[in-house]
Structure 1
Amino acid sequence: MAAAERTFESYEDFWPYYVAMHSRAATRWVHLTGTLTGLAVAAYGLARGRKRYALAFPLIGYGTAWPAHFWIEGNNPATFGHPAWSLRGDAQMIRMMLTGRDAELAETAEKWLAENP
């Protein structure tokens, strides 16, 4: 079932699904790289007084993340059906990765996928 067709009562219900849509480590790392690169370019531009560089954040972030879903994961981004929760999920996933909790993400994805074939 596509992300847009799934319904969730809360972000807490959505979170395991979001992680499952990023079940491959490569997908998660592409997200992290794209998001941090977009953030760095945007911050650099804003620090230099170039406000248009702020566009780098979503363009680079989503521009790298979305293809990873199609080419690595073989699914559609959860953003298409749940944009706000997906943005929150991306931030949570990246925080977890930066604090050494990528294995926990893999376990969450594996469990959700096993329970939702």
Structure 2
Amino acid sequence: MSHPATDRSVERHFASFREFYPYYLSEHENRTCRRLHFAGTSLVIGVILAAIVRGNPMWLLLAPLAGYGFAWVGHFFFEKNKPATFKHPLYSFIGDWVMYWDVLRGKIPF
């Protein structure tokens, strides 16, 4: 029997991010997908830093492309699922940053 937080056949409604995060991780079981997320999030950080250092906010236009571009390649070609951001945009955005931090701390295999 599947766990309700990870069952992909049931559309879920989450009362909190704490409830959502196990589902989010279940959508990122493929190592290449996680690595692409990590690369995209790292690029987002780089783009934000470039915007600050150069004093040019136009750099920020690249942030969504870097973040979502890498993530969506990971989902469509490696994880073979639809990104959670389509149904849970805010929690997914937060989830990406929490997963990034968890990878940095060694809590999630890279």
The two structures share one fold, judged by TM-score above 0.5 = yes
Indicate the percent of aligned positions where both proteins have the same amino acid: 39
2:19 aligned with 1:13, yes or no? yes
Q: Could you tell me how far apart the structure 2 residues matched to 1:71 and 1:102 are?
A: 21
Structure 1 runs not aligned, ≥5 long? 107-117
Correspondence for 2:76: 70
Q: Could you tell me how far apart the structure 2 residues matched to 1:18 and 1:95 are?
A: 14
Correspondence for 1:59: 65
Q: Could you tell me how far apart the structure 2 residues matched to 1:75 and 1:55 are?
A: 26
Q: Runs ≥4 in structure 1, deviation > 3 angstroms?
A: none
TM-score by length of 1: 0.80
Q: Where does 1:11-50 land on structure 2 (aligned, <5 Å)?
A: 11-50=17-56
Q: Deviations over 1:29-61 (max 9, x none)?
A: 100101111220231133111111012222111
2:103 aligned with 1:97, yes or no? yes
Larger RCO, structures 1/2 (Cα 8 Å, 6+ apart): 1
CA deviation after TM superposition for structure 1 residue 2, in Å: 6.5
Higher helix residue share? 1
Structure 2 runs not aligned, ≥5 long? 1-7
TM-score by length of 2: 0.85
